[in-house]
Structure 1
Amino acid sequence: MSELVRNSVDSTRFTPSEGCDPDISALAATALDGTKLVNQISLLPTSQRPWGTPQEVRIKLLCFHPEPHCTFEIDLRTQSGWHRLIGKVYATDRRDVYQVMEGLRQAGFGPEGEFSIPLPLAYIPSLRLLLQERVDGMMAKEIFKLGDGRQCAAAAERCGRWLGRFQALAPPSGQISGVERFLRSAERKCRLLCEADTAWAAESERLLERLRAGALSLAATPTCAGHGDYCEHQIVFAKGRTVVFDWDLYDIAHPARDVAKFIVSLERLAMKHLGSIRALDGAAELFLRAYLASGGHPHVAPALPFYKAVLWLKGRTKAIQTGAAGWREQTEIMVGESFRNIASILPP
C-alpha cells in the first residue's frame, strides 16, 4: 500500500548543524520521508489512526532544535478527507509526554472541552515521534502584542481560567520542582554575571541573600500539576476552546510557579513589543483574578513575588556569555525586576 501513497515534503529548513546528534538527524529524516512515515503509522492500532489508510501525505518542517526535538506539520489525506497533525521527533525517548497528555485528556482536557490540550494521537517509539492534533486558531501572544484593551482582557481571562482549572483537576506527574531548584538556577545566573563582569559581584550576592531569605519566608503550600512553561507562547484560542500545548517540561510544582511564569512572560513581551514592562499589567491582574475564580490556589499571591523574582533571572544566558550587544542593559532590567519583586515581601 505504501508505494501508492503520494507524498510532498518541504524540508528546505532541515539543515542539521555540524556536530548535532546524528541519531535525531536520521530519525527526523525518516519522519520527513512520506512513504516511511506512512509505513510506521500503518503499524499503529486502528484506534490511534481513526482517519483510515493515507492516500497522500504532505510534510513541512517547522523547526529543528537538535537537543530537545524537531517539529513538523503532517497533512494526511484519506477517504474521509484531509487530517492535520503535528509531529515531534525527540532527541531521547519521550513517550512519557504522550502518557501525560493522555492522562490530561482523560481528566477532562480533551478536544471537546473548553479548556483543553491538543489531542494526543500516538507515540511511535522507533522514531521517537509524538503525533498530536494540529490546532488552528489565534495565538495568545499575537493578541497581547497586537490586540486592543478589550481583546487583551478577554485573552488574559481565558488564560487564567485555563490554569485555574488545570491546577484543580490535572493529575500531578513528573519530577518535583521545589524552591531549591529555582535558587540553584538563580545562583548559576549570578555566577555567570560575575564571570562576565566582576562589577556585578556585590549586587549579585545581595540579590541572592534576599532570594534565599524570601524562600524561607514562603508558607508550606501543597504542590500541584505543572506545565513548566505556561505562557502566551504556548496557548492558542480555537473555536470554543482554549488550548495549551508543548508539554515537554511538565512537572509538579508550587502553584505560584506557573502563575508567575505567565505574568513574567507578559512583562517581557510588553517590554519588547509595547515599549514598557508595565504595559500589560492590567491584563496580568485580570489573568490572576480569573485564575483565582476558577479553582486556582487561594494562597498563591504571597508566593508570587519570590517566583517572579527568580523567573526574571531566567534567560539571556547566551547574550551574557558572548557579550552580545545590549547584554548589560538586559542584565540591569533582569536584576532590577528581580529586586523589585522580592522587595514586596522583604522590604530593603
Structure 2
Amino acid sequence: MTRVRSVPPEGSWTATYEFDVDDRDGGAPHTVVARGVMTPDELPLPPALEDAAPFGSASWGCVLPDLRLALTVPPLDDALPGLTMLLDAERGPGLLTRALLGGGVLVEGTAVVACAPTVAAYKPGVRATVVCRLGLGADADAAGADDAAPADDFSGPEAVVVKVHSDDEGERGHEALRSLAQSPLAESPLVQVPRPLAHLPELRLSVQQHIEHECSLKDLFHAAFEGGGQSVLARLAEGSRGAGAALAALHRSGSGFGEGETWEQDLAAVRRKHASLVSVVPELGGSVAEALVRIEAAAARTAADLPCPSHGSFHPAQVLVTAERLALIDFDKCCQAEPARDLAAFTTKLRHMAVNKVDTHRYDPGGAAEVMVETLRETFLGEYTRTAPLSERRLAVWEALEVFSLVLSASKKMLGPRTQNCVAMLQRHLDDHGL
C-alpha cells in the first residue's frame, strides 16, 4: 500500500494497492494496481458491485465492509498520453525518432529502431520520468534519400531521459535547460547540467541528455547510514561539499529564466495545506499551528534576499555523482527565488533522511545520525559561502518552513511516528534559532 492521502473535507483516505498475482492458469506472475478509498464509520460505504469482473480487469472492483475499503482498477493514464506511446514497443521508437530529428539530434536518414524504456519515476496522472536506451539504424522511410545517413554511420545518443507531464512543467524544465546551456554554467568545471534535446508540446513530452553516473547523493547518504564505512562517509562529505559549490555556481549563473517565487507565495501554500489537513488530523492544531505563527512572525523580522536563478526543488536526489564532476538534474521547477529557498530544501532533506529512513527511529538531537547530518550541513554551507553570500538568519526561517511542510506531508500520509519526529525537529529548530 502506497501513496496514502487524506481527502478533505469528507474525512476519507485514498491509497494505491499493488497486488503480486500468481496466475492459476499457468500465466506469468504479474502485478495488479488498484485504487482504494477508505471510508470512516460515520459515512456510508459505496454499494457492492453485483457482477464481479475478473480480478485485475479494467472493470473489476470490490467493497470490503470489515475494512471500510472500496477497491477499483484505475483506467489507463489518459492524462499522460505521451507515456502510453513511449512505452509501446511499436510506437515508442517512432516517437523518439520524430522528437530527436526535430531537435536536430539525429541526422536525416537515421532513426531510433529499438528502445528499452525504464520508468525511473511515476506519479499517476501527473508526471513520469523514463530512461530510454536506444538502438539506432537506417530510417526506412528515408531509404534512398540523397541526404540519408551512410549505412555504417548512425551517430546519436545511446540513451536519453524522457519526461512526460500533465501540465506545462515539462516545457518549463526544457526552457530552463536551454537558458542554462547559454549561461556560464555550461562551461563550469564544477557541475554538469543535462543538455535539452527535444520537446513535443502536443504530448507535453521533453527529451534531455542522459548523464551516466555512479549514484546520486541520496544513494550515497543511505549507503553511509547503512554502515558503508569510512570510505563511503568520506565520499558523502565530498559530495556534500561539491553540492554546495554546484549550487553556488547555479545561483551565480546569471540565467534569467523563470518567474519569481516569493516567501509569501510559499507561506500561503503551506497555510492552505495546513488548513485542509487540520480538519481530518486534529493533532495539527495547538502547538503545531502556533509554530506556523512563529515562523511567519520571524520572517516579517528578517529582510528577504535578492532573487537569483533557483533550482526550485534542490534535494540530494537531484545531485548525481559522475566520474568527473557532479551533475544537477530535474529543473522542472526552475525559477527566480531567494538563495535560501534552495539551501533550506537541501539541508532540511538531509535532516529528514537521517531521522526518518525507518519510522522506528526517534529523533534525538544528540544522536549519532543527527550529529553526522549537522556536520554534513556545515560542510555543504561552508563550500557554498566560499563563492556566494548567505544570510544565516534568513536560511533559518526558510528551514523552519521546510520542516513544517514535512510535518504536513507525514500527517497526510498517515505516518504517525514520522509526524512525531518532524514535530520534534520543528520545535528544536525554532528554539535553537530563537524563532
Q: TM-score range by the shorter chain?
A: 0.7 to 0.9
**Aligned ranges for residues 272-287 of structure 1 at < 5 Å?**
272-273=356-357, 276-287=369-380
Deviation at 1:97, TM superposition (A): 1.8
The aligned residue for residue 289 of structure 1 is 382
Match of 2:148 in 1: none
| Pair 1:243-2:327 in alignment | yes
Task: Output the CA distance in 2 between the equivalents of 1:332 and 1:164.
Answer: 33
Contact 2:185 2:253 in 1 (8 A): no
- Aligned counterpart, 1:58: 115
Query: What per-residue deviation string (whole Å, max 9, x for no partner) do you get for residues 251-271 of structure 1?
Result: 221110101110001111111
Question: Structure 2-normalised TM-score?
Answer: 0.68
Give the CA deviation at 1:163. Answer: 0.3
Identity fraction in percent:
21
Does the 8 A contact of 2:93 with 2:113 survive in 1? no
SS at structure 2 position matched to 1:177: coil
Larger Rg: 2
Give the secondary-structure state (helix, strand or coil) at the position aligned to 1:164.
helix
Q: Does 1:169 align with 2:253?
A: yes
2:195 equivalent to 1:119: yes
5+ residue gaps, structure 2, are 1-29, 35-72, 137-153, 225-231, 362-368
Change (3 A) 1:321 1:111: same
- SS where residue 132 of structure 1 aligns? strand
For these two proteins, the number of residue pairs brought into alignment is: 330
Q: How well do the aligned residues superpose, as a CA RMSD in angstroms?
A: 2.9
Q: Is residue 304–residue 338 contact of structure 2 (8 Å, CA) maintained in 1? A: no
CA positional deviation for 1:21? 4.8
State how far apart, in whole Å, the 1-side matches of 2:275 and 2:103 are.
53
Q: How far has the Cα of 1:31 moved from its partner?
A: 1.8
TM-score, length-normalised on structure 1?
Answer: 0.84
Query: How do 1:1-348 and structure 2 match up within 5 A?
Result: 18=74, 21-24=77-80, 26-43=81-98, 44-45=101-102, 47-49=104-106, 53-54=110-111, 56-62=113-119, 63-78=121-136, 79-80=154-155, 83-93=158-168, 94-110=170-186, 113-137=189-213, 138-147=215-224, 148-192=232-276, 194-198=278-282, 200-273=284-357, 276-293=369-386, 295-296=387-388, 298-315=389-406, 317=408, 320-321=411-412, 324=414, 326-327=415-416, 329-346=417-434
Q: Which moved more, 1:199-208 or 1:155-164?
A: 199-208
The SS at the match of 2:279 is helix
- Cα distance between partner residues in 2 of 1:82 and 1:186: 41
- Paired with 2:302 and 2:271, the residues of 1 have a C-alpha distance of 19
